[in-house]
Amino acid sequence: MKYLILLAYYITSIIIVLIPTPWWYYSVGGIFQIYDSPFQISLYFLGEKLLIVEILNILLNALRIYVAVNLVYGIIISIKGKLYKYSTMFWLPIFYIIDPIIIYFVVDFLVGKALGIPLNYPLVIIGKENLITQYQGATIVMLIKSYPTFVFWLSLMPVILYIIFLLVEKKKT
């Protein structure tokens, strides 16, 4: 088989796309919780699921279907020995690595500035950390949880396979 590594990339990618669980989990004092992946999101505020997310999930499921169709096409083309590069499943996990940085900007700048509270949110949280701030003379302590799930770590397999594929192809030329 001519493109075996690329085929392995497509197969592992399709498996990950079809797993309907989140890639990352965030919690702000248990008040606000986010379970997200590139293909679905769940937001909870005070334990209640926010319904507006269902509209977003329709779009994210459309993305899941689009990516899955391209991956199946890549599998078929690779089995036929032809080259078809589709790198979405290479880039999605990479973007999730910068996800905590995006959360930092949203929380520290947008929320902090909107409320007029200096939040001093840490740049990257992986695990648990207390966010301590002062508001009208009171000290507020919120436990922030932010961590990747097992599926996120699995999603790095196609990244590694795609890099290997690119290196092997570069070596051929």
Buried-state track 21-43, b at ≥16 Cβ within 10 A, e below 16: ebbbbbbbeeeebbbbbbbbbbb
| Distance, CA of 150 to CA of 156 (rounded, Å) | 10
**Beta strands of 72-156 (E only): which ranges?**
127-135, 138-148
Give the range among 8-12, 87-91, 110-114, 139-143 with minimum mean pLDDT.
Answer: 110-114
Reported as a single tens digit per residue, the pLDDT across 114-125 is 777 767 666 667
Does the pTM exceed 0.95?
Answer: no
